[in-house]
Structure formats: C-alpha cells, structure tokens
A and B are shown apart, each in its own frame.
Chain A
Amino acid sequence: MPETPLLSVQNLQISFRGEDALVPAVDGVSFSIYPRQTLAIVGESGCGKSVTAMSILRLIPTPPGKIIAGEIIFNGQDLLKLPEKAMRRVRGGQIAMIFQEPMTSLNPVMTIGDQILEAIFLHQRLPARQAVKLAAESLRQVGIADPERRLGEYPHQISGGMKQRVMIAMALACHPQILIADEPTTALDVTIQAQILELLSTLKTKNNMSVLLITHDLGVVAENADVVAIMYAGRIVEFADVYELYANPLHPYTRGLLACVPRLSQTNQRLTTIPGMVPNARNWPTGCRFEPRCTDCKDEARTQCLSHLPILRQINERHWVATFSAPGYADAKFTLPGLPVRRNKTPATGRMGATD
C-alpha cells in the first residue's frame, strides 16, 4: 500500500503589503512530506523558504502578510481553514517549530522550566508534579545534564547551543508529528552544530517524527535530509531525493549553488560564481526568474525562457525540476512533489559527486 503524505502544501501563494503594491513572497509552492522523513527547503535569503515554513503554522503576521491562495493539508484537514482555536492545538502540539535564534526565541524573564511547562499545559491535562517530571525528562532527552536544576535557571545563564537544546526540548515535549526547524544551527559554531544535528536525527528516529528543515547550507542538507526542495524567487525550482539531487542536479541554479561553495581540500583556485543577484520581488522577470543569471539558456531556447515561467514538472520517479533546459522537461507533467521514505536507503546510481 502506498504511503500517504503527512502534510501537503498545494499551490501556496503569499504576499506582503508593500508601500504601494502587494509584494509576492511565495508564488505557487507545492510539496508534501511523508512520515519519518526529513524534507529540506534550501534557498538564499528572500527566496520564501521561511515564509513557507511559518505559513504552515499560520504564523505569518497579517497584515502585512496575506495568504492569497493554496491549501495546507495535514491529517485530512486544511490548516488554512481551521478555526483559530483548533489551530492552537496543532501549533506546538502536532506540529512544532524551532527557530534560528535561540537567544531571542526564549523569554528572558521566565525560567526554562516555566517556559517548557507553559507548552505542556497548553496541550496536555497533567497534574503539576507529573508535568515537571515530563519537563525534566524532555531536557534529559536533549542531552542536558542535571535537568532538575536547569529548570530553575534563566536563559541568560546558559550557552547558545544549550538554548537551542532547550528550544528542541520544548518543541518535543508534546510529541509532535512534524518538527519545523528554521535554520536551527545557523547561529551556532560548527562543533555545536554537529552536536545539535546529531541530536535532531536521533530524536527524529526515536519519536517517529518528520522534520521540515529550512536551511541555506548544502552541507547540512546532504548529511541530514532525505528529500530536498530548492527554492528561488518564491518558487520551488527543483525537488528530488537527496542522492539524486547531488548526483544529478538539473536546474542551473542548483548546479550553481553546489559549485560556488568552497570545499575542503579543493584544488582549483577560483570559485565558480552565479553572476548577478537575486531579482527583487517587486520586479520579477516575466519568464523564468533565473533567466537573467542563467548560463544554460542560449539562443533559440532563450525566447521561451524570457516569455514563459517554467513550472515544476516530474521528469523521473524521484526528480522534479522547473527549467526548460532539463532533458525530458517538454514531455513531463506536473505532479505534487513528494517522495515516500524508501525502506533501504541506497545511493542513487548516477554521477556521484559530479556537480558541474
């Protein structure tokens, strides 16, 4: 029996009110997450990845933000149509979120214990003593030594890595089915990042969770994600199984991103660059939004790139892409991007490591 997705986002469109007009931030994003899967959304600042993540929990401030269209189906119901009261049960209960800045996400005038207890009492009816026990247990689960003492401490008394552990403990206290992690390690040092990512992966397996990982770091993606969505200028431009994506990147933007990151022990001196910069959302090109920076589209193909926006199409079993230059794109069809977890994970055969 084929697995059904846990969460699916369909044709999501979000705009923000600008000075004189609505500025689009997310423009027709669709994807689905399956149980026990880590889906990474990758992109540069302003591509709409965080806005997409926030909208799942309806955390977009309205105004200025506005969800123009789309559906977010979770457990058979559209989260965007849910009454606020029901939404509150989902938020922090079945779907939890951790943020980039553990420093500003914790309340500085509440003890760590009180903050975790607040989350627990919001979602579960428990006697106080049992709730405290659960809070201590959740801190122990994220590797914090002496949790009973830590419950009485304030955020300023602990380090950045420890704060992110507390955030994770708080998010996991109610056993969510999906954890949304928005750049969870960007503010942390690499050795602490390695600790936190290892922790997240252990907890994911232990709690049977799915993770939606928002990041810009292709190294973090390669080591943690099962499935990857690459976003550019408000749209998903490529969606694939992680092995397939790194072995056979099809969108010129994905290839550019993979090539421009300096790697350890890389011998060539000059870095490959993506020329130009991300277009302003007030003024997106009418055709392909990557066209002004693209090195793929030339001559005859270019007219099409300039006039038509390529939509995401499924070009093989495990790969979706939105570029006219991909082989087989012309005959491919749109399907909702999403890949159930494979039982035995083996690297896809292909040009492993080839990135350009």
Chain B
Amino acid sequence: MTAIENQTSNVQPSMEPILNVENLNVWFPITGGILGRPRGWVKAVNGISFSVQPGEALGIVGESGCGKTTAGRAILRLLPRGSAHISGHVYFEGQDLYALKSRELRAIRRHAQIIFQDPIGSLNPRMTVGAMITEPLLVHKIITRQKVRAHVAELLKRVGFDADAAYRYPHEFSGGQRQRIGIARALAVNPRLIVCDEPVSALDVSIQAQVLNLLADLRRELGLSYVFIAHNLAVVEHFSDRVAVMYLGKIVELGPAHSVVSHPSHPYTQALLSAVPLPIPDRTTGRTVLQGEVPNPANPPSGCPFHPRCPLATAKCRIEMPPIEIKRGDIAHTAACWNVE
C-alpha cells in the first residue's frame, strides 16, 4: 500500500467539505499621514480557494511572508476586527463564518480550533494547565463543573501526561510538552477541524517526531480534519493528504501531497523542493538555487508574482496572472503557471 492510499483512507470524498474557502482576500492597509488613511494595501492573502474534506489533512506550505499564517487565522475569523479588509467566503460545515453574528460564531468556534507555533507565548504563564484546559469547557458549556476534573485528566492522558500535570504551570514543562498542552486545550471542546500553525517548527527534531505522531494518532482516532501550515516541505508532505503551495498571497500549486512533491508543476514548487537540504552526503547532484528574494508584498510584481525569479518567465508572465488549473491531466493536481501544460 502506498503512502497516499494509506493516508487518505479515512477521507470520505463523497461528503460535503468541512471547510470551503472561496476567493479569500485579506488585505492589510498601509496607513500614513495625520489622518491615517490607507495609502496602499498589503495583499497578504490574495484570492485563494480550497476545500478540506472531513478527515482530511490539507497542508499549506510557503516561505515567510507568503500569507500562510494570515490565511490560517482568516479561515477561523481570528483576525482582529478592522485590522484588515477581508473579502470572500469561508464556509465551515456549510455556514459562512463571515456572515455570522458573534454569538453564532462562538458556537461554531467550538468545532474549529487552532494550535500555535510558539508553545511558550500561547499559554498563559499564570494559569495552571488544568485551568487552561477547563476554560474552554466552561465557556462553551460543554461539561458541568463536577465532571471537569475527570475530563481534564482524560485529555491529559490522551496527549501523554499524568493527571497531576493539571496542577502545574507552563514554565514547568519543556517546549514539546507545552505544545502537547496546547493540543490538549484545542481538543478539550471536541473540535472537528484544527488549524495547526507551524506546530513543530519551534521544537527540536527528536521532539518534532513525537508531536507529529501524536497529531496523526488523534486524527485517526477522532476523525479530525487539519489545516496544517508549515514552511518545511518534508514535514507538510509527511503529514498532509493534499498540499497547497503559497507564494505572495496566492496558491500557486495544489494537489495530492505525494504528487506535488514527486511531480511538482510550478517552477516555484520545483525550486522550493530543490532547496531542501537532504540528509544524504552526496555532492554529485547539483541544485538549482533560486536567485533573488521574495518581492515586497506591498508592491508586488505585475502578472505572475513569481516571474522576477522564475527561470521560465516569458513576456506573458509579466502582464497576466495565470489561472490555477489542471496540469498534466491529473484532475486532483492544479497549478498556476502559463508555461506548464
């Protein structure tokens, strides 16, 4: 059985997607002058669309500034009100999150949780682990106070702690343990979707594997769906069924994880893959080192955002943004490039 069959075994494609993002835009204003009027926009997320099936893990990969974190926050409507101009639709289980009133939104939040990159900054240092896990249970009125203790103990056990960890404070734990506390807190409200924003990039390699395995186990046991955001392609490929590659606010390639990695269509994906240093000491094979840097998102290039660094760029690329479309006859695999059939 190949990895891809193995990983997609608990995805039910016939069902309605748990998350459906349609043409999502998040533009941050660049303000200036005394009146603080916007002088321009940073299009952090610029018209992205994707869906996540129940039980599926969708990976979003890209370099810093590509908009992956902003996209992760926007799909849970976590960006502070008024901080950005947001348009497009995010349907969670069929309901448009941006059309909901705050009370309705709170009810839905229960089913969609987030895990952050920084396991130190995302836990309140003055609350015990138990209190932190209890808080969402009481906010969402999931459980009565009498039953809280047993429930917390069960959650802690699930992520590999003894029940007495509930009485300790975050500083008493290591980075990997804190990340597991973050996972327990997210799980407390029985979510169906978890957005993981760089969940292992702050951890040491030997601890990364433990946390990734835990997330994979939870997915299998609880039927969770994930949006898995990371910059490390190997980690994203390992964890996800499908992968979206982002560059300057746009999805440039989207397809089954193993297909994106073994047959990348977009020149950016190819460059990204080529840049990953492999743990094999063989210096005979050269790599194509991508020249230049990611352009300033406040002043993006015309046409295809990748054209200034692209080895294939033609005159057309400088003028017109290519649509994201099926490449190489694989209906699951799409990319946005004029020069790839």
Interface residues of A (CB under 8 A from B): 44-45, 159, 161-162, 189-195, 197-198, 216-225, 242-243, 245-246, 256-258, 260-274, 277-278, 345, 347, 353
Contacts and interface: CB of A to CB of B under 8 A. Distances in A.
B42 interface: no
B147 interface: no
B263 to A, nearest CB: 11
B261 A264 contact: yes
A323 to B, nearest CB: 17
Contacts of A246: 279-281
B258 A265 contact: yes
A264 B237 contact: yes
A218 B276 CA distance: 11
B303 to A, nearest CB: 20
B176 A258 contact: no
B238 A271 contact: yes
Contacts of A272: 209
Interface residues of B, number: 49
Nearest to B212: A271
B290 A261 contact: no
A218 B279 contact: yes
Contact of B7 (A44, A190, A243, A269): A269
A257 B258 contact: no
A261 B234 CA distance: 9
Given A191-B290, A271-B213, A222 B2 contact: no
A45 B205 CA distance: 10
Contacts of A262: 209, 212, 232, 234-235, 237-239
B213 A191 contact: no
Given A191-B271, A219-B279, A222-B278, A44 B234 contact: no
B278 A189 contact: no
Contacts of B209: 260-262, 271-274
A258 B235 contact: no
B205 A257 contact: yes
B23 to A, nearest CB: 27
Given A194-B287, A223-B283, A263 B293 contact: no
Given A44-B204, A242-B281, 9 more contacts: A191-B271, A194-B290, A223-B283, A257-B205, A257-B206, A262-B237, A264-B234, A274-B209, A347-B281
Contacts of A221: 279
B6 interface: yes
Q: Which of A159, A189, A353 has the most CB of B within 10 A?
A: A189
B272 A191 contact: yes
Contact of B275 (A193, A267, A273): A193
Nearest to A256: B206
Contacts of A270: 213, 216
B281 A191 contact: no
